[in-house]
Amino acid sequence: MIRHHLNDALLMGYSAGQLPEAFSLIVATHISMCDECRARLESFDAVGGALLGALPEAGMGADSLAQVMARIRQAPPPPPAPKPRAGVFPAPLRDYVGGDVEAVRWRAVGGGVRQAILPTARDASARLLYIPAGMAVPDHGHRGMELTLVLQGAFRDEVDRFGPGDIEIASEELEHTPIAEPGADCICLAVTDAPLRFNSFIPRLLQPFLKI
């Protein structure tokens, strides 16, 4: 049961193609897991389509339709749809990474926590986090927005509990200490548009090297 969802601003930005690459990745991954957000996104897509339909028509050549139909007939048949595969990563993230968890090159960041920075445009960053059960991420605040999507396991912080499919939207007002729950190790996808603000000295010292 997914209890924490995307807000309208993020869904509308995704529908309009206005989000940074890293944010688009986490939104696409969440909506592949969440029926509710996927339905809301479809409603925003419909509104966008209606607005486009209200724009003045553009002039077209008399043979435009014939040219389009000719290209369709000449196009090769689409490849068969891949069969769904079991794994931790939903399809949008798995395609982006090039595989599932075993394809990730993790880097230790301390306390058993590992991360893998994903290549995205510089306007925002995306990383995978592996947090062993019972371990905590150092307490921190935010200089911008941070989205964290749970892929496996669960964590708790000062806000609530977040399980598979849940997404936490953290703003500059939130300071928290996420702690992975007992059981399965917690794997998350996290994106930020500004560096985190750590409260302890050691995390602040390591921050430039870990690019958090």
Q: How would you write the pLDDT of the chain (212 residues) with one tens digit per residue?
A: 899 999 999 999 999 999 999 999 999 999 999 999 999 999 999 876 665 666 677 777 878 888 888 888 888 887 665 555 678 999 999 999 999 999 999 999 877 899 999 999 988 999 999 999 999 888 888 889 999 999 999 999 999 999 999 999 998 888 989 999 999 999 999 999 988 777 775 666 666 666 66
- Structural domain boundaries in the chain: 100-210
Strand partners, 187: 130, 152
The CATH architecture that domain 100-210 belongs to is Sandwich (2.60)
Tokens of 158: 């000062």
Strand partners, 115: 107, 129
Query: Residue 153 half-sphere exposure, CB side, CA atoms within 13 Å?
Result: 22
pTM score > 0.85 for this model?
A: no
- Centre a 10 Å sphere on the Cβ of residue 84 and count the other Cβ atoms it contains: 7
Q: How is 123-140 classified by DSSP, letter by letter?
A: TSEEEEEEE-TT-BPPPE
Tokens of 98: 């090039």
